[in-house]
Amino acid sequence: MNTSTPLSVFDDPQLLDWLERASAADLDDLPFGVIGFDAQGLVQRYNRFESNAALFAVSTVLGQHVFVELAPCLNNYLVATRFEDAAAAGEPLDAVMPYVLTFRMRPTRVRLRLLSSPQAAHRYILVDRRGGAQ
């Protein structure tokens, strides 16, 4: 993986490390949605792809609670609880799953990737709308 250019591989095993180093412009170059949030659940990183797809302006999303204000459709045992469990156990999380988004839109099939690590400053939900039908 080339760390100097934007990464476009949703499944890359080094993606979390790259995301942590990436600038906002690098995130905007990705062909999938990126939602990065801190340990309190507050959105700190949100890329242009996700903003355009979800119809939420980046400026209004930053600082919102990811599972309460931004995406309550992810506040369940499949997504939110997995981040909580990984943090409580001090373990990394890297899980890919099919999912159906339902908040503020017609049901939309996507593929989610959940990423976190005890060493990382942010936790990430990646949203691949191209892979949702798989």
Q: Which amino acid is at 89?
A: A
Give pLDDT tens digits along the chain (134 positions): 444 444 558 999 999 999 999 999 999 999 999 999 999 999 999 999 999 999 999 999 999 999 999 999 999 999 999 999 999 999 999 999 999 998 666 788 999 999 999 999 999 999 999 855 44
Q: What CATH code is carried by the domain that includes residue 29? A: 3.30.450.20
79 lies in some domain? yes
Runs of H (alpha helix) within 29-91: 48-54, 58-61, 80-89
Per the confidence metrics, is the pTM higher than 0.75? Answer: yes
45 lies in some domain? yes
Contact present, 82 and 93 (Cβ < 8 Å):
yes
119 lies in some domain? yes
Identify the pLDDT of residue 105: 64
61 lies in some domain? yes
- Domain count for the chain, please give it: 1
- Domain limits for position 58: 15-128
92 lies in some domain? yes
Q: Is 22 exposed, middle or buried (0-12, 13-18, 19+ CB in 10 A)?
A: buried
1 lies in some domain? no
Q: Which amino acid is at 15?
A: L
87 lies in some domain? yes
133 lies in some domain? no
